[in-house]
């Protein structure tokens, strides 16, 4: 397998026009796979290169990476900013509105990573992205479920069936651990330690971490494993959460399941998804007094930057709650009585009298 991969790389580089973007994208794919980069990371980089290539060809520009400079990248950025959502998508019809700032930022960061790789590999001698400033992604308020919404979502699950018990267990585990949906569906049977109440999770960048879970989730997991988990479809099926047929449960199916229960619970104004459960888990951790460093480890973030967002969101909840439940504001007190000296009373009476005289003089004018 390794020899075959090396032969593909050699044959790709041997042909003419080896610095063409599409050819380099394939070389990047093989190199990134050999370096252990995630499938999602490779996919976004390769897709971004293909979008850029299509733009350059449509405008009669060269697709040789050595001939692409700042002007072409800026032109592509403007093209993305005016591009309709799902334009030219093979399965989804175009939708109203243009690409979001977050999507554009993702494409350009992927291209910047590709150019950095090409520079490191010696395919180019200068990087146009060193002279460019990528438009920042807009900062959006992270949505999270209210306590009543979360309870309604969980209670909407009918646990009397095997499928319902599986769904209940998944939702409870997502709330308790803040796992990404890909991490949940990627759990293997050996990754779940019911005795120690821990999960071995493979996160972004193939990074392994240990995530604890609570007693309530432990009980749900025990019921699922002992009474409701179907037999795996094949001896090679090791995933923990399975369909009724014993096949591994896919991320899209989990998303559809949570959306279904959200509709059943009548939840409005917020997207019912695994990622919203992840945000909710993080905010609830902070609200309940958890520390940010443990939360960073549990969520699998490489830095505290994202965790600070959850802290700020939890803090805003505290401020809003104080405005509503302020002890002083909710006291039923009579207005304070201030003792006035005779000097203050005289000044007040004189001022009142003066204002009254002015009002009379104004009213008497023709």
Looking at every residue in the chain, the average pLDDT score rounds to: 82
- Strands 95-98 and 198-202 come out as unpaired
Confidence bin at 358 (pLDDT 50/70/90): very low
Please give the C-alpha separations between residue 159 and each of 5, 120, 155, in angstroms, as whole numbers: 49, 54, 9
Q: What does CATH list as the number for 2-131?
A: 1.10.150.130
Average pLDDT over residues 130-152: 85
Contact 65, 41 (CB under 8 A): no
Confidence bin at 365 (pLDDT 50/70/90): very low
Confidence bin at 339 (pLDDT 50/70/90): low
Class of domain 147-324: mainly alpha
* Residues acting as catalytic residues: 180, 204, 275, 278, 301, 310
Among 59, 69, 53, residue whose Cα is nearest residue 17: 53
In percent, the amount of the chain with pLDDT more than 70 equals: 75
Interior CA angle at 303 toward 283 and 251, to 5°?
A: 60
Average pLDDT over residues 240-268: 96
pLDDT tens, 4-58?
555 555 555 544 456 889 899 999 999 998 888 888 889 999 999 999 999 999 9
Contact 211, 179 (CB under 8 A): yes
pLDDT recorded at residue 224: 97
Cβ neighbourhood burial of 136 (10 Å; 0-12, 13-18, 19+)? exposed
2-131 and 147-324 share one CATH topology? no
Per-domain residue ranges of the chain = 2-131, 147-324
Does 157 have pLDDT greater than 90? Answer: yes
What is the spatial distance between Cα 288 and Cα 310, in angstroms, rounded to a whole number? 13
Does 360 have pLDDT greater than 80? Answer: no
Of 15-29, 151-165, 207-221, 272-286, where does mean pLDDT reach its minimum?
A: 15-29
Assessment of whether the complete model's pTM goes beyond 0.75: no
Contact 252, 265 (CB under 8 A): no
In percent, the amount of the chain with pLDDT more than 90 equals: 55
pLDDT recorded at residue 21: 92
Q: Looking at the chain, list the stretches that DSSP marks H as alpha helix, in order from N- to C-terminal side.
A: 2-14, 21-34, 39-58, 70-81, 101-121, 147-155, 162-177, 181-185, 215-223, 251-264, 274-287, 292-299, 305-325, 342-364
Among 3, 2, 119, 22, residue whose Cα is nearest residue 12: 22
pLDDT recorded at residue 187: 95
Average pLDDT over residues 167-195: 95
What is the spatial distance between Cα 40 and Cα 139, in angstroms, rounded to a whole number? 23
């Amino acid at each position: 397998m390794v020899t075959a991969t090396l032969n593909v790389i050699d044959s790709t580089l041997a042909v003419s026009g080896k610095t063409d973007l599409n050819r380099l994208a394939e070389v990047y794919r093989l190199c990134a796979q050999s370096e252990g980069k995630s499938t999602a990371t490779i996919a976004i980089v390769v897709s971004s290169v293909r979008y850029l290539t299509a733009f350059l060809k449509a405008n009669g520009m060269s697709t040789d990476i050595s001939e692409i400079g700042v002007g072409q990248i800026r032109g592509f950025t403007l093209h993305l900013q005016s591009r309709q959502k799902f334009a030219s998508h093979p399965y989804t019809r175009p939708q109203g509105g243009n690409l979001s700032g977050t999507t554009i930022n993702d494409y350009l960061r992927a291209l910047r990573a590709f150019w950095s790789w090409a520079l490191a590999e010696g395919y180019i001698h200068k990087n146009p992205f060193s002279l460019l400033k990528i438009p920042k992604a807009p900062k959006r308020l992270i949505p999270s479920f209210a306590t009543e919404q979360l309870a309604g979502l969980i209670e909407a699950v009918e646990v009397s069936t095997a499928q319902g018990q599986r769904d209940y267990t998944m939702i409870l585990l997502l709330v308790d651990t803040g796992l990404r949906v890909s991490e949940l569906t990627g759990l293997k049977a050996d990754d779940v330690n019911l005795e120690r109440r821990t999960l071995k999770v493979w996160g972004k960048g193939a990074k392994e971490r240990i995530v604890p879970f609570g007693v309530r989730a432990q009980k749900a997991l025990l019921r699922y494993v002992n009474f409701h988990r179907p037999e795996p479809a094949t001896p090679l099926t090791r995933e923990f959460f399975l369909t009724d047929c014993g096949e591994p449960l896919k991320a899209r199916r989990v998303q559809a399941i949570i959306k279904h229960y959200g509709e059943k619970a009548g939840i409005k104004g917020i997207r019912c998804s695994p990622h919203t459960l992840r945000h909710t888990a993080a905010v609830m951790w902070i609200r309940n007094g958890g520390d940010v460093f443990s939360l960073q480890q549990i969520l699998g973030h490489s830095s505290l930057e994202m965790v600070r967002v959850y802290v700020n969101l939890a803090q805003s909840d505290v401020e809003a709650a104080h405005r509503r439940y302020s002890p002083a504001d909710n006291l039923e007190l009579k207005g304070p009585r201030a003792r006035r000296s005779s000097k203050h009373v005289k000044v007040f009476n004189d001022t009142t009298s003066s204002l009254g005289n002015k009002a009379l003089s104004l009213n008497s004018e023709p």
